Structure 1
Amino acid sequence: MDFTLKTYRSLLSALEQSGYAFRTFEEFLSVPAGGKVVVLRHDIDKRPENALRMAQMEHASGIKASYYIRVVKGTWNEEIIERIVALGHEMSYHYEDLTIAKGNYEKAFEYFKKHLAEIRRFYPAKTVCMHGSPLSRWDNRKLWEKYNYREAGIIGEPYFDVDYTKVLYITDTGRAWNKTGASVRDKVEGGLELKVKNTRRLITLIGNDKLPEKLIINTHPQRWFDFGWGWMNEFICQHIKNAVKKALVAFMH
């Protein structure tokens, strides 16, 4: 049974037992470390209550992770933001301002600064991360072709400030690991690639010391449940979404 909280706990244990040190993305950029290092990046697209469960699980194991939350209705939840920050995790903005502004760059940058200020009421955010907005015509990263996030006190963005020839990026976009056909924009340029069928296989590779020393593992908490109705609903809905994404990827190429 994949994408359950029990499976996620097993993934954390495998990383710990294999000797990986856990760093927030902010720490990863600020204090480069030798040896095995993993950044757990969580994109809170929806279901913030799932993110809180993951944050609590990590905290119980003494692990710090990086959480990026959208500002849209149904996702933005100040009580949950406060609780995740109180557990010692990094919290910042999962930005999609070019989409919100319908392609107006000037408005988008104003929105970005406003939304970042909202996040900073709870955490002194120094990194941000793009939301892919797969059904949008606008790629939110293109905002930085005209503006510079460093002007807002941001030291890094995962799609721009990591050398992926030295860091392996693993994402559960599409409810699979590095499934390119199910990802419209959640991709990185680099020499390291990994395709695994399921989380159990990923855990086996970690246990057998088959992965590089530097990892960024991106998860979307809305996919991870204890088995039950929520898990079944996500399973069915994601299969439908993947078919749509696959068509979009084919169209874009």
Structure 2
Amino acid sequence: MNCNFAFAHYQEILTEAQALGYACVSFRDLLDGKASGADRVLLLRHDIDFTVVNALRLAQIEHDQGATASYFVRLHALHYNPFALTAMRQLHEIQRLGGELGLHYEAPYAAALGFDDDEGLRREKLILETGLAISVQGVCPHEVVRTNTMVLPEEAVSAAGFRYQAYAPQFFGGFKYLSDSSARWREGCVCGWLGRQDRLYVLTHGFWWYEETPLENY
């Protein structure tokens, strides 16, 4: 394969993964046991940091491939408003295609307003669910290295009504974790890990992915 961030390569990755016997699933589907009969699992996560439209393109590819993934939505992004009509329709379409929507929690924002994580998580889950008219099961902190909030307080997560958090040990410790942060696979593209590790947890950010050239995104 020609490793790059073209959407066509993402489709190649899913095709190869399924040929090798991986169940390509979201967090929700994993917890619901939809990969229980698979010897290999590819856990798919997308953080929607800058653009919803690219996330939707990934969801379309996954739908065509019979895969599912979890998409974590920011409430305070400068570049998109999840409640604007266009973005809301795109998010609903991601869900219709089988994608799971979760909260991409920004702890510094809550702290700037004087909220602790108990109140921040509760408020933001309510806002996301009410604004999009959906039910949210998962939460994942935004910019974990910069904010040092990879693992949120489990008591606050549970009290807010979340079923899981994305960096819980059952996921982060039980899988080989790969991320495309800053458009760079630090341990090599995920395609190079297929067949080498039976349990892969892959994080992508739609902003880095493109049809023909990265210039499409900026």
TM-score under structure 1 normalisation? 0.72
Alignment match, 2:109: 100
Alignment match, 1:188: none
- 8 Å CA contact retained: 1:29, 1:156: no
User: 1:232 aligned to 2:218?
Assistant: no
- 8 Å CA contact retained: 1:92, 1:123: no
| RMSD of Structure 2 on Structure 1 (CA) | 2.5
Q: How far did residue 214 of structure 1 move?
A: 1.5
Alignment match, 1:84: 94
Q: Which has the higher strand share?
A: 2
Following superposition, which runs of at least 4 residues in structure 1 exceed 6 angstroms of deviation?
none
Gaps of at least 5 residues in structure 2 are: none
User: 1:210 aligned to 2:196?
Assistant: yes
2:17 to 15, 19, 34: 15
Tell me how many residue pairs correspond in the alignment.
206
Alignment match, 1:25: 27
Amino acid in structure 1 at the alignment position of 2:59: A
Alignment match, 2:47: 43
CA distance in 2, matches of 1:141, 1:164: 10
Deviations 1:146-200, CA, capped at 9 Å, x for gaps: x5211122121121242544311111112111x2xxxxxxxxxxxxxxx22xx3x
Alignment match, 2:139: 128
Gaps of at least 5 residues in structure 1 are: 180-194, 238-253
CA distance in 2, matches of 1:161, 1:142: 9
Distance 1:53-1:45 versus aligned 2 partners, 3 A rule? same
Q: How far did residue 101 of structure 1 move?
A: 2.8
Computing the radius of gyration from Cα coordinates, the structure with the larger value is 1
Q: How far did residue 27 of structure 1 move?
A: 2.4
Amino acid in structure 2 at the alignment position of 1:83: E
1:171 to 179, 183, 190: 179
3-state SS in 1 of match to 2:124 = helix
TM-score under structure 2 normalisation? 0.82
- 8 Å CA contact retained: 1:64, 1:89: yes
